[in-house]
Chains A and B, each alone.
Chain A
Amino acid sequence: MVLRRVVRARLAPLGIAICFFVVAAALFAPVIAPYDPAATDIMNSLQRPNLAHWLGTDDLGRDIFSRVIFGSRISLLVGGIAVGAALLIGTTIGVVAGYFAGIIDNIAMRIMDSILSFPALVLAIAVAAVLGAGLAAPMIAIAVVYIPAFARVARGQVLSTKEQEFVLAAQTVGSDHRRIMFRHVFPNITAPLIVQASLSVAFAILAEASLSFLGLGVKPPEASWGRMVSEGRQYLQDAPWLVFGPGVAIFLTVMGLNFVGDALRDALDPRLRM
């Protein structure tokens, strides 16, 4: 028990530290990165990790460390915006559905069910394919996949919250529906939504990496972690650092976010503790 607490206590700060580094890397990429992430240098292609190139160079002689640093921008941007959008849209749907109940609830939740009945990555691939190349494709694809999760959480919370006395009180003094929903009910359901959001960001970054690994989304020469792994694949035998550099970046980022998410869940919603 004690050991476990210590481990937990250590994991959360570790997660926060990792997240801090990733965010810093994204914000200050041009300062941190020693090279231009797109600058090719054929004379120095496929170099092993060394002092000049910490993570080695790729087939075009581009510095992998610099590309990983710049790649954090895409991962965070896509993960953050996708989850932010899903949080906003999903919560609104969930709050409105839960508050009004009846037919609105029924229709909204059937639509959410139908989105949930797609295997997540399959839906994301289909949506990203529809949207074509560019940063917006994976963002929208991932947001669509996560909307139902937020809608469900929000709805469930609203159903129990709206029965409470302060809602009745607000109704009695004549507040309109919108005010009750967003001033009285919403502030009481934020904790589980924050937990859901923090865990979703980790999955969203994984999903973005998977989509760009398959060649959907950001186009070269932009450095996206998933695409770097996919492009480095053919050199796996002789130059595995092409895959391992960005691969480890994805792994560490997702792990850090998971630590933070777990810690937040334990702190905000003890009932969900695993």
Chain B
Amino acid sequence: MIGFLVQRLIGTIPVLLLVSLTVFSLMHLIPGDPVQVMAGEVQDPETLARLRADLGLDRPLYVQYAAWLGNAVRGDLGKSIRTREPVTDVVLQRLRPTLQLSAIAMLLAGVVAFPAGILSATRRNSRIDAIATAFALLGVSMPNFLVGLLLIFAFSMKLGWLPTSGYVDIFADPIAGLRSLALPAITLGMALTAVIMRMTRSSLLESLSQDYVRTARAKGLVERRVVIRHGLRNALLPIVTVVGLQVGNLLAGAVITEYIFAIPGIGRLIVDSVFARDYPVMQGVVLLSVIGFIASNLVADLLYASLDPRIRLS
């Protein structure tokens, strides 16, 4: 297990290097001069040149890349061009709302998707199955900005139950926090719920049609036990893969969700920094989101092995 982990971690190094190079070059290809943006009204060429030198933007690109990478591995992602704060601090601040939002979204998805998926597989073609299938269809076909706006329209504007936007930290004020994150979490969790539900259903259906399930039934096991111990356990593998991929993608969903609900998280930071041409922040956030994505896939791989002893990690 440890050997596998080490091997996988080493394997991610070339990928991370390529990613960092891609991120770095992308950001420097963005049209528009950050120094101009910063300086605003000031057009004095000498001031601009000094500013550029201060930020190290006058050095050749490969020197800038080497310097950036060298600092990045030591946890220093530079300073925001806009606010002059260290990027690491900015990102860490913004991480909190996003983590809270994603955690609630995942919880919601899990609580809804697994039982619904199991029910629709065990009671195939029932009404529950039809409703779940229709919901899954909705979940994968609706853009999440539309889901968010529909929820705001119904629950905030028409019913007046929940705030339209804004963010309250859950740990500071649990009730207000939950109220502020309820709609964003449903928005973010919708697609995840749909995908997990579909996967649970099809994977469970497949494993329930296996011979060992018939054997289990034949020896007189209670249906509940057959489904959970024999069916579900064997159905979990593909579900874990899909969940791993989807969790990594939550951040992408958070971009839109946080944008709509004005939540000061990582997703919002990506959009804001793109429009402000804040290179260092953009590079930092994108790089960290990639690391998070790779990590979630790695966790899925490890879970895989613990679920299925047949899989040798090598």
Contacts and interface: CB of A to CB of B under 8 A. Distances in A.
B248 A119 contact: yes
Contact of A258 (B137, B157, B202, B259): B137
Interface stretch (B11-19, B57-65, B91-99): B11-19
* Most A-side CB within 10 Å, residue of B157, B249, B252: B252
B198 A125 contact: no
Interface string A74-87: 00000000000000
B274 A122 contact: no
A38 interface: no
Contacts of A100: none
Interface of B: 14-15, 18-19, 22-23, 26-27, 29-31, 124-125, 137, 140-146, 149-150, 152-153, 157, 198-199, 202, 248-249, 251-253, 255-256, 259-260, 270-271, 274-275, 282, 286, 289-290, 293-294
Q: Which 9 A-B pairs have the closest CB atoms?
A: A121-B252, A114-B18, A255-B141, A119-B252, A274-B202, A247-B146, A254-B141, A129-B274, A130-B29
Contacts of B252: 119-122
Contact of A118 (B31, B137, B202, B290): B290
A1 B125 contact: yes
B256 A214 contact: yes
Interface in A231-271: 233, 236-237, 240, 243, 247, 250-251, 254-255, 258
Contact of A126 (B18, B199, B282): B282
Interface size class of A (residues with CB under 8 A): 35 or more
B251 A130 contact: no
A114 B26 CA distance: 14
A3 interface: yes
A125 B274 contact: yes
Contacts of A121: 249, 252-253, 255-256
B255 A125 contact: yes
A236 B143 contact: no
B29 A251 contact: no
Contact of B15 (A114, A206, A243, A250): A114
Contacts of A3: 125
